[in-house]
Structures are given as C-alpha cells and as structure tokens.
Amino acid sequence: MSDVVPPEVRPKPVVPAKPPNVGAPSPSSPFPPQGPGGGAGSGGVSAPPPSAIPVPIGSHGPGFAANHGIGHGVGHGAGHGGGHATAHSGGHGHGGSHSSSGGSTLLGYIGIDTIIEQMRKKTMKTGFDFNIMVVGNSGLGKSTLVNTLFKSQVSRRSAGWARDEKIPKTVEIKAVSHVIEEGGVKMKLTVVDTPGFGDQINNDNCWEPISKYINEQYEKFLKEEVNITRKKRIPDTRVHCCLYFISPTGHSLRQLDTEFMKRLSHSVNIIPVIAKADTMTIEERQEFKQRVRKELEMGGIEFYPQKEFDEDMEDKSDNDKIREAMPFAVVGSDKEYQVNGKRVLGRKTAWGIVEVENPNHCEFAQLRDFLIRSHLQDLKEVTHNIHYETYRAKRLNENGGLHPISSNDTQESNL
C-alpha cells in the first residue's frame, strides 16, 4: 500500500532553533541541505555518507537499522503515529531515512538528550535504596569498616551509643537503616549485621540463618509483586551486596569460608575482603591475595563482578582489573588524626599512623570507589535481574506456588 504524497502538497518542515552542535551544513560542507521530501528515494538528492549521519542511541547495528528499524520508524512509523505530513516531511521510510550506518538525518533539535536530566530529577525526588550485609568472624572490624565506607555511624547504632564506646558484639541478624544525603542525593542505607559467624565450637550449617534471611527478603518482594493492587513503589529490602570478611591469617581460607561463599554466591553478590590488612607486610598481603584467588577459582566460587554478566568489552576490561585486585585488603577506622597538617582517618600504632584512604597503606579507597562510585547501581541491577529472578522462577514453579488468592480476587483478575 502506497501513501506517497505528491511533492507539491508536502508541507515545508519548520526547523526549530538548534543548539550550536546541531547546525545546518556550513557553506564549506560538501553536502547540500535537503529540501522538502529531499530523501534519497524521493527527491533525487543524494544523502550524506554514513559517516555524516548521527546514529541514534540503542540501534542494533548497521544491518538491522538499515533494513527496517530506525529509518522505517522515523519515516513511515512516525507518519502513522503523528500524521502523514510529519513523516513525509522528514523523508519517507524507504527514502532518505535509510542508510547503511543505521542512522537517520535530523532536521532540527528534538530534545532526546534531556531524558537523562528528566531521570535525574525524578530519581532525586524518590531517592535510592541500598542494602549491604556484612559477614565474618567477630573482631574483624565489620561494623567499623561500614562506618568508614559511609563516613557516618551507620552500623549497629543504638540509643545512647557514644562515639568512643566499644561497639557491642552482634548476637542476632539485625538490619539498621539510615537516610544519608550528599549533594542533594538521598540514599536509604540499610546495614544488615550478622551473628559472630563461625565463632561457635560446632559451625555446621551456620550459614543457614543468613541464607534464610536473604531468601525472606526475596519472598517479601515477590509477594508484593504478585498482589493485584500493588504499591506504587515496592519497598526493597533485598540484600544488594554481601561483604565477606576473611581473617588475615596469611595462610589460606578456612573450609567454613569456602563453604559459605559457595552456598550463597548464587543468591547474593559476594565481595570478599581481607580484614585488618595492617597486620601483614606488603609481601605477605600480596601472597595471601593470590592464594585466596586461586582457592576461590579451584572451588568454583563466583564473586562479584561475575564474568558472565559483563555486558560489553568495556565492562569486561574494567571488571577484569577489579577481579585481578580482589580480594581487597582493607583497614577500617572512624578515628581522625593529624598527618602533615591534614585530618585523616587512620589507625595509630607505635611506629606511625596507618592511613585508611592512602592507597600505599591499604586498598580501602579501591573498595570504596568500586562499591559506591562505580558499581553501586550495577549491584542493584544484578540483584534484581539475576538473583531475584532466579528465586522468583523457582518459587513460581514449585508445586503449590505462592499462597492461593481468594476467589473474589481471582474473578477480579480475570476481568
């Protein structure tokens, strides 16, 4: 079916004001501006070469776009959605909109680039959620490290707890939430503290309470999702990241360490860290890191970022550097000291001050940048798209599935 409009009745497009970077061809340009209907397939004027055509974000590559997607969507598809005149003024779908590079010629500034600002404003209003769990032996500085990461007292805070008081030993799994704000961005941070993992004489199945807690959060989210009348924003209590603290023995992982990470690596993002790295020399630390990486590889234990989740070569290159540096050997402290006229977080020893954020002293800065500044959103996406979806599929496939919905609700859902 042809819907070609004769050239004499095609309205001349109105070109809106354009920013400096989206201008008409300059006098020195070898490509003349297109007139009304001046596509390659209708007006006889040759289109610019592929290198001169802007490629829209999200194209599937040259072949796909040239054959169907981008050109047809702009030329013909827009005509059906917003009137034939608009579509034809930009060139018919089978004319100038097609190109071997998969791009389409824009006649003026549209404003697609403002979507990022729109998303930013909306997210600034709603804020973020981030839930982090810490697991490891008592006395490894789990709570202190989390406080150092977020530069505030966010872990195991209780009424009347003064800054200089000793942090009480954890006796049960407990989630503590705080809203922290920086630069107008609000984030609800939930720190899930765990019992003194592996402190008992018999440590058989000591990971079960932690595994149970993680699955309970998935179950809560799933039940909210399957409700007929869902909340506009489902509260997200799912664990996005699990920091697993390894004792700085300098020898090898305990069997309990490998067993825990093996059992939970498929349900949560595990990031192994070597605690209290200042108890080892630089040579001992490097040897221990290599030994731990080898043992994790031999045990088939996957830690975040997993290789199979790298989206492209850029991701793979960045994540390979991170995987080679893991596990991070860290030192935590929420005490400040004066060093060379600057206030720094550190641990004071008889021979000097270990600066927490000094990369020559420990790898805390690398962990912070990785966890918060570059991969925080990806941690949330992997939790939702991989770990939660795995749990969801398993639950919905189970015999009996979720709790049955009432008959009234069933009738309503079938309407």
Spans of all domains in the chain: 122-154+164-332+359-396
Closest alpha carbon to 35 in 5, 64, 12, 1: 12
- Entry pTM: 0.69
Confidence band for 106, pLDDT divided at 50, 70 and 90: confident
Task: Among 63-72, 91-100, 120-129, 403-412, name the most confident range.
Answer: 120-129
Integer CA distances (angstroms), 213 to 136, 197, 220, 294, 393, in order: 16, 14, 11, 29, 19
Cβ atoms 175, 192 nearer than 8 A: yes
Residue 120 has pLDDT above 70, yes or no: yes
Alpha helix (H) residue ranges in 334-406: 364-368, 376-382, 389-397
Please tell me the distance from the alpha carbon of residue 328 to that of residue 322, in angstroms, as a whole number. Answer: 9
End-to-end CA distance of the chain: 37
Residue 123 has pLDDT above 90, yes or no: no
Q: In what order do the strands lie in the sheet with 270-274?
A: 174-182, 185-193, 128-135, 241-246, 270-274, 328-329
CATH tag, 122-154+164-332+359-396? 3.40.50.300
Q: How many residues does the chain have?
A: 415
Q: Quote the pLDDT of residue 367.
A: 96
Average pLDDT estimate for 97-119: 77
Closest alpha carbon to 246 in 169, 136, 356, 144: 136
Average pLDDT estimate for 37-49: 45
Average pLDDT estimate for 315-330: 93
Element (H, E) at 174: strand 174-182
